[in-house]
Amino acid sequence: MSTPKILAFAGSARQGSFNKKLVKIAAEGARAAGAEVTYLDFRDLPLPLYDEDLEAAEGLPENALKLKALMKDHQGFLISCPEYNSSITPLLKNAIDWASRPAPNESSLECFKEKVVVLMSASPGGLGGLRGLFHVRSILSSIGVLVLPNQKAIENAYQAFDENDNLRDESQRVAVRQLGDKLAAVIAKLHPSL
């Protein structure tokens, strides 16, 4: 029996990103549930702003191909989504846009077919980034991703994490770890041959 494979990433490139800290906690839960988790930092895969003329002239950028390969190699994604002006971050939207473009001899939206996703967010604001999650959920659902209803939004993020990047509140930490556990369990049920 193989192991569920999960790609974990945040829609932020900032070094001290709250959402990077958050998704790593969820990844711990997925690993504890038996999943193999790959952490991706978008700082390591910089992409130009999506431009159809650029794509036509040069094809998909090398980092877009690397991103697509990573996504295709995993059955599920843990995504922590910062909120910019009540919506998705440009970084995350741009990554989705590039990944949605078919490579030669590839069907459309190949990276997103039969993928399962759990969303979470952390924000200095009182809603914890909840408004942005709605938009990310809508985008992913419309391109064929199964987005689980389980999610968590951590408000007042400046105070929420300790010096070791853990959530200070034990109940929040447990809830976020359970997101990773849930994703691993659903993937295992959907892919019993794993």
Mean pLDDT of 167-191: 97
The answer as to CATH 3.40.50.360 being correct for domain 5-190 is yes
Contacts of 47 (CB under 8 A, 6+ apart): 61, 63, 64, 67, 94, 95, 98
Beta bridge partners of 84: 87
pLDDT in tens, 4-18: 999 999 999 999 999
Give the integer Cα–Cα distance in Å for 79 and 160. 19
First to last CA, the chain: 5
Tens digits of per-residue pLDDT, 81-127? 999 999 999 999 999 999 999 998 998 899 999 999 999 999 999 99
Average pLDDT over the chain, rounded to whole? Answer: 96
User: How many contiguous H segments (helices) and E segments (strands) does the chain have?
Assistant: 7, 5
pLDDT attached to residue 192 = 83
> In whole angstroms, what is the distance from residue 100 CA to residue 87 CA?
19
Is the pLDDT at 1 greater than 70, yes or no?
A: no
Report domain extents, the chain: 5-190
For residue 164, what pLDDT band results from cuts at 50, 70 and 90?
A: very high
Residue 194 has a pLDDT of 66
Per-residue pLDDT tens digits for 19-63: 999 999 999 999 999 999 999 999 999 999 999 999 999 999 999
Q: Which residue has the higher pLDDT, 191 or 187?
A: 187
- Provide the pLDDT for residue 137: 98
Give me the mean pLDDT over the 160-171 stretch: 97
Q: Find out whether 121 and 153 touch, Cβ atoms under 8 Å.
A: yes
